[in-house]
């Protein structure tokens, strides 16, 4: 399901619902949020502010113009025109079932309805629904706006097509949907996490370790490996040259030793709750650097952003998902000319191929867009232009691409953070190997020109890494643009040099 231009609804906006809202908004989707709690809107705003802070650092890929958030006290209003609805109310079967019935009563007939439930069976949740085929679990991980995993689990009455639609929707949001093959309580990830959690509770209860010591045991050892390798790959490498078979032979027998208490649950009596809560308070005192709750969230997010970026460099784990998401963001910002969802631009005018808002991290101390970001935006404009003439991923792989070899930027007016901007591109000259382009950055509200950039781009062969002639099909398209734009006046600033004339 393509979410572009559609509306979504979040029902319940606590920790998870607010995270969903932030992810949807960042992807340019308008979101209606319903939550009856009086504090909900304030908490939602705080989570979105934290998400903006983290997402601004996550990627340099062009970000969609942020979606519009509407908070409402009326469930019917929230879901009325939504094609994608994510339910995130507390984990109680009867509450969820009654909320799902209410959602269904007011939502469009073809809307997908997904529940964030951490472990309730979808067959139970959908049992009273009139159209259960469009219901499934979409189980995310906190913080939803940064972590890419979402487990999809359908119930007995969920439709296959609907699961595919949900997969597409979650992929659009930059997530990696993992479809659970068999309906099972707790799905995949929470079963694994609960095993660790039970054992951790026993270790605290039995006085073997404190809350802080257990966290150290996870984060200084196994935790560092899990993000990149998961469990099986970690153990394969632990088997040395003998690999997994050797590992299993060596450590397999110990599985039968009584190391764990997995099937028992410690009694969560007042003593244990007090012990855990007070040790957790001590832990925050000693490791929290005086941060309040939102501060702790921001520190967690900053570390996650750095981890995701490091994993991307090594093309592994969640880093692969980040690369995919960035490629999709570039494609969305510069749709190929045959993408029917986008109007073909009028070639006789300077081409409007890229629009965005000045992101919060693009501004300097006086809240104006900082110099290096102008070059980034002009780079995105060139990228949009080369995509429009057909330099897509197949061409990049097989033939080559255009490299920028010279740029002259003129700064004409300031622009502040969060202001809308767009670029236009005029083709000044073209030959077999070169493109001479003139871009302008305009203000999104009054069209005034904020900056211009004149650039020379050189076609470089993929194998040879040397200047080479572009494919004849590309050259034809470029000549079309040149022909169409021949009546446009040459920009005043084109060909201008830098210097101070001697008197
Ligand atoms: P939460 O308590 O933070 O938020 C629940 C929100 O639902 C609250 O803001 C509450 O006011 C609202 N609510 C209560 N009744 C409602 C109703 N009738 N209609 C609309 N909103 C209502 O809980 P959470 O941690 O965000 O959990 C929500 C869901 O997400 C649960 O199903 C949970 O299992 C799942 N989940 C939680 C996590 C996590 O780490 N917290 C992770 C994955 C999934």
Q: What confidence tens digit (pLDDT) does each residue in 153-192 have?
A: 999 999 999 999 999 999 999 999 999 999 999 999 999 9
Spatial distance between the Cα atoms of 497 and 117, rounded to a whole number of angstroms: 62
- Under 8 Å between Cβ of 198 and 261: yes
Cβ of 37 closer than 6 Å to ligand 1, yes or no, is yes
Distance 87 CA to ligand 1 centre (A): 8
Where residue 336 falls among pLDDT bands split at 50, 70, 90? low
DSSP-derived 3-state class of residue 75:
helix
pLDDT value for 341: 37
Mean pLDDT of 347-373: 90
pLDDT, one tens digit per residue, over 127-149 is 999 999 999 999 999 999 999 99
Distance 484 CA to ligand 1 centre (A): 56
Q: Whose CA is nearest to atom 9 of ligand 1?
A: 14
* Domains contained in the chain, CATH given: 7-179 (3.40.50.720), 189-287 (1.10.1040.10), 334-484 (3.10.129.10)
Cβ of 99 closer than 6 Å to ligand 1, yes or no, is yes
Among the residues of 339-423, which ranges form H helices?
Answer: 371-388, 393-398
CB count within 10 Å of CB 228 equals 16
pLDDT, one tens digit per residue, over 282-302 is 988 888 778 888 999 999 999
Name which of 24, 4, 302, 301 is nearest 138 in CA terms: 24
pLDDT, one tens digit per residue, over 469-492 is 999 999 999 999 999 999 999 999
Which residues are CB-contacts of 19 (< 8 A; sequence separation ≥ 6)?
A: 47, 51, 140, 142, 143, 144, 145
Spatial distance between the Cα atoms of 78 and 68, rounded to a whole number of angstroms: 13
Atom of ligand 1 nearest to the CA of 34: 20
* % of the chain surpassing 90 pLDDT: 77
Where residue 344 falls among pLDDT bands split at 50, 70, 90? low
Spatial distance between the Cα atoms of 462 and 459, rounded to a whole number of angstroms: 10
> Which of 22, 38, 89 for a ligand 1 pocket mutation test, highest count of atoms within 8 Å of Cβ?
89
Mean pLDDT of 221-236: 93
Spatial distance between the Cα atoms of 425 and 334, rounded to a whole number of angstroms: 13
Spatial distance between the Cα atoms of 335 and 10, rounded to a whole number of angstroms: 28
Cβ of 17 closer than 6 Å to ligand 1, yes or no, is yes
> Which of 9, 10, 14, 36 for a ligand 1 pocket mutation test, highest count of atoms within 8 Å of Cβ?
14
Cβ of 50 closer than 6 Å to ligand 1, yes or no, is no
The model's pTM: 0.80
Spatial distance between the Cα atoms of 155 and 135, rounded to a whole number of angstroms: 8
Name which of 467, 443, 442 is nearest 452 in CA terms: 442
Which residues are CB-contacts of 287 (< 8 A; sequence separation ≥ 6)?
A: 212
Q: Where are the beta strands (DSSP E) in 159-293?
A: 176-179
The yes-or-no verdict on residue 42 having pLDDT over 50 is: yes
Atom of ligand 1 nearest to the CA of 89: 7
The burial class, CB within 10 Å (0-12 / 13-18 / 19+), for 39 is: exposed
Mean pLDDT (the chain) is: 92
CB count within 10 Å of CB 299 equals 13
pLDDT, one tens digit per residue, over 430-443 is 999 999 999 999 99
Cβ of 35 closer than 6 Å to ligand 1, yes or no, is yes
- Under 8 Å between Cβ of 357 and 350: no
Helix (H) or strand (E) holding 313, with range, is: helix 293-313
Helices (H) and strands (E) in the chain, counts: 16, 13
DSSP code per residue over 407-468? EEEEE-S--BTT-EEEEEEEEEEE-SSEEEEEEEEEETTT--EEEEEEEEEEEEETTT-SB-
* % of the chain surpassing 70 pLDDT: 98
- Under 8 Å between Cβ of 363 and 370: yes
pLDDT, one tens digit per residue, over 384-423 is 999 899 998 889 989 999 999 999 999 999 999 888 899 9
Q: 143 preceded by cis ω (within 30°)?
A: yes
């Amino acid at each position: 399901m393509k979410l572009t231009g559609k509306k979504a609804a979040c029902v319940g906006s606590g920790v998870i619902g607010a995270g969903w809202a932030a992810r949807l908004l960042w992807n340019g989707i308008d979101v209606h949020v319903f939550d009856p709690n009086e504090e909900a809107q304030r908490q939602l705003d705080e989570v979105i502010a934290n998400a903006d802070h983290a997402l601004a650092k996550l990627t340099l890929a062009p970000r969609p113009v942020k979606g519009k958030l509407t908070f409402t006290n009326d469930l019917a209003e929230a879901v009325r025109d939504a094609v994608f609805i994510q339910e995130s109310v507390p984990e109680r079967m009867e509450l969820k079932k009654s909320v799902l019935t209410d959602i269904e009563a007011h939502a469009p007939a073809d809307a997908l309805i997904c529940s964030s439930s951490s472990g309730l069976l979808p067959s139970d949740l959908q049992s009273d629904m009139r159209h259960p085929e469009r219901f499934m679990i979409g189980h995310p991980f906190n913080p939803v706006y940064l972590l890419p995993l979402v487990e999809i689990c359908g119930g007995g009455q969920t439709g296959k097509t609907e699961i595919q639609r949900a997969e597409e929707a979650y992929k659009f949001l930059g997530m990696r949907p993992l479809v659970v093959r068999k309906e099972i309580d707790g799905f995949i990830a929470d079963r694994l996490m609960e095993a660790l959690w039970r054992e951790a509770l026993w270790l605290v209860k039995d006085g073997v370790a404190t809350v802080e010591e257990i966290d150290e045991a996870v984060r200084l050892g196994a935790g560092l490996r899990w993000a990149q390798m998961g469990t099986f790959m970690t153990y394969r490498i632990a088997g040395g040259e003998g690999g997994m078979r050797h590992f299993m032979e060596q450590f397999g027998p110990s599985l039968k030793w009584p190391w764990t208490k997995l099937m028992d649950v410690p009694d969560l009596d007042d003593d244990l709750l007090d012990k855990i809560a007070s040790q957790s308070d001590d832990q925050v005192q000693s490791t929290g650097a005086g941060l309040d709750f939102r501060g702790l969230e921001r520190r967690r997010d900053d570390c996650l952003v750095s981890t995701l970026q490091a994993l991307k460099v090594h093309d592994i784990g969640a880093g692969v998902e980040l690369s995919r998401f960035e490629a999709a963001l570039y494609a969305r910002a510069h749709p190929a000319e045959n993408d029917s969802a986008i109007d073909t631009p009028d070639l006789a005018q300077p081409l409007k191929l890229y629009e965005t808002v000045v992101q919060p991290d693009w501004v300097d101390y006086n809240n104006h867009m900082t110099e290096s970001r102008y070059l980034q935006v002009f780079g995105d404009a060139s990228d949009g232009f080369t995509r429009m003439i057909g330099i897509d991923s197949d061409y990049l792989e097989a033939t080559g691409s255009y490299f920028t070899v010279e740029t002259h930027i003129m700064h004409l007016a300031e622009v502040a953070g969060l202001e809308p901007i767009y670029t236009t591109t005029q083709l000044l000259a073209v030959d077999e190997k070169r493109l001479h382009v003139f871009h302008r950055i305009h203000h999104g509200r009054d069209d005034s020109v904020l900056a211009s950039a004149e650039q020379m781009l050189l076609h470089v062969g993929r194998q040879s890494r040397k200047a080479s002639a572009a494919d004849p099909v590309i050259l034809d398209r470029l000549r079309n643009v040149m022909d169409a734009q021949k009546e446009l006046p040459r920009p005043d600033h084109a060909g201008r040099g830098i210097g101070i004339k001697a008197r």
